[in-house]
Amino acid sequence: MRRPRSAVFGLVALTLLTSVLTGCGTGGGITLRVIQSLTSPERTALLRDMITAFEAANPEIDVRLISPPLQSADQKIAQVLSAKNDVDLVEVRDYTVKQFVNNQSLLDLSPYVANWPGWQELTPLARQKAASVGGKPYLVPYGFFQNTLFARTDRLSEAGIKPPTTWPELIEAAVKLTEPGKNRFGYSFRGGAGTFHYAVSIISAYAGPQVDPAQGFWRKDGSTIFASPEAVTAMETFLRLFKTGSPPGSLAWSYPEMVQGFTSGVTSLLIQDPEVIKTTERATGLPKGSWTTLPIPKGPTGLALQPTGYAGWGVTSFSRNRDAAVKLLAFLSSAEQGLRWAKEHSLIPVHTAAAQDPQFSTGAFKAYLDMANDPAQVVVERPIQYPGWGRWQKQADIDVQSLLVGEKTVAEVLGSWDKFWAEQKKAGGA
């Protein structure tokens, strides 16, 4: 009998020792757990650096950063939140905010932002996006995403083409810059995952003034943009862009390939988000000064419409260290940290102080300033708050690919999208 007893004693002692040691590890203070979504090695390093600065200023708080792989990060976060796991600060994106609020995973920050001076340093758009679900701030955005047109100025001037400002001009330029024999193509087409975004962009530009910006998938008369006759012209143009001005393999291209296409010099035109500015600057395959960014192309009526994507930080509703979590959130969202974050990741900044910063008013970022000052560049909303949004994206990608391989017709695809969104609206998902 002696042996089991000593074993039990040993176990108890071990458990006690472990808990004491773990206690020591946290300095006896608060441990915050932060989970990020848009993970990348450079970004994680920067975030860690910012967290270290926060810990130095708040020695009683210990911060643990959780970085799931990018591909499945939002899925992991959703699971962690629905299981009410031990997480205090969470990265929230425009695509996930409605879901997290639905499931009551996020804390309403209203009482906190009221007393937080940093709130007033945010741009009006940032404060609007913070409260885009239910009118309450469930997150503080750290940056915006908008498309811009990346263009090889050297090749354009070589071919005697002026920088394209409309879709028809873009196609004309893409066709002229395509030389398959040299493995050189005009446009970095995205036919793989995420292609729906570009289809919707061109349809919106063609439908132009009919579109209701507050509900970007619908026209002001209440019907969907996919039912408009202009949508047919837009999709046919989109197909022509693929067939005559883009690499044939781009049917399978997703984000990494289309960016690689541009940075390796295979393609000369690319429509992408601001973080690609950093990637392109770092690319060794491009001669210095050979490229620029331009506002995205407009439709025949002179309008370009696109959503403003955003991401930010939110506090979980079940956090046991609310005040500390809010403190960290305020630190990360301060003008000083926020501008550093936006600069190093080339994001559109959320702080008013950015207007005085030369990095955001010159060079590759100037296109964003131009777009912000151009009334013909309209910001629209995507129906991300509808339950069908996730499902539709996957289906729409398949539909566009079916169009590209010739298995479906433009009328079939547009018809099914029109039907889908008309039904979603009738079901009142919003």
**Residues engaged in binding another protein (CB under 8 A):** 72, 75, 78, 82, 98-99, 102-103, 180, 183, 185, 191-193, 247-252, 257, 260-261, 264, 266, 387, 390-391, 393-394, 397-399, 401-402, 404-405, 407
Residues near 248 by Cβ (< 8 Å), separated by ≥ 6?
Answer: none
CB of 75 to another protein, least distance (A): 7
* Residue number, 244 or 264, with CB nearest to another protein: 264
Q: Of the candidates 311, 322, 370, which has an alpha carbon nearest to the alpha carbon of residue 345?
A: 311
Rg (CA), the chain: 24
* Residue number, 261 or 274, with CB nearest to another protein: 261
Instruction: Give the Cα separation of 163 and 294 in Å (integer).
Output: 8
* Residue number, 181 or 358, with CB nearest to another protein: 181
Q: What is the DSSP letter of 77?
A: H
Helices (H), 208-356: 229-245, 255-263, 275-282, 322-332, 335-344
* Residue number, 103 or 110, with CB nearest to another protein: 103
Residue 382 is encoded by which pair of tokens?
């995507």
CB of 183 to another protein, least distance (A): 6
CB of 199 to another protein, least distance (A): 14
CB of 362 to another protein, least distance (A): 32
CB of 15 to another protein, least distance (A): 18
The sheet with strand 89-93 has its strands ordered as 61-66, 30-35, 89-93, 309-315, 140-145
Instruction: Give the Cα separation of 169 and 199 in Å (integer).
Output: 17
CB of 96 to another protein, least distance (A): 10
CB 185 within 8 A of CB 177: yes
CB of 360 to another protein, least distance (A): 33
**Chain Cα centroid distance, residue 222:** 28
* Residue number, 142 or 185, with CB nearest to another protein: 185
* Residue number, 313 or 389, with CB nearest to another protein: 389
Sign of CA dihedral 289, 291, 296, 298: positive
Strands (E), 153-290: 185-187, 267-272
Instruction: Give the Cα separation of 171 and 299 in Å (integer).
Output: 12
Residue 328 is encoded by which pair of tokens?
């960290």
* Residue number, 60 or 407, with CB nearest to another protein: 407
Instruction: Give the Cα separation of 90 and 341 in Å (integer).
Output: 17
CB of 403 to another protein, least distance (A): 8
* Residue number, 100 or 341, with CB nearest to another protein: 100
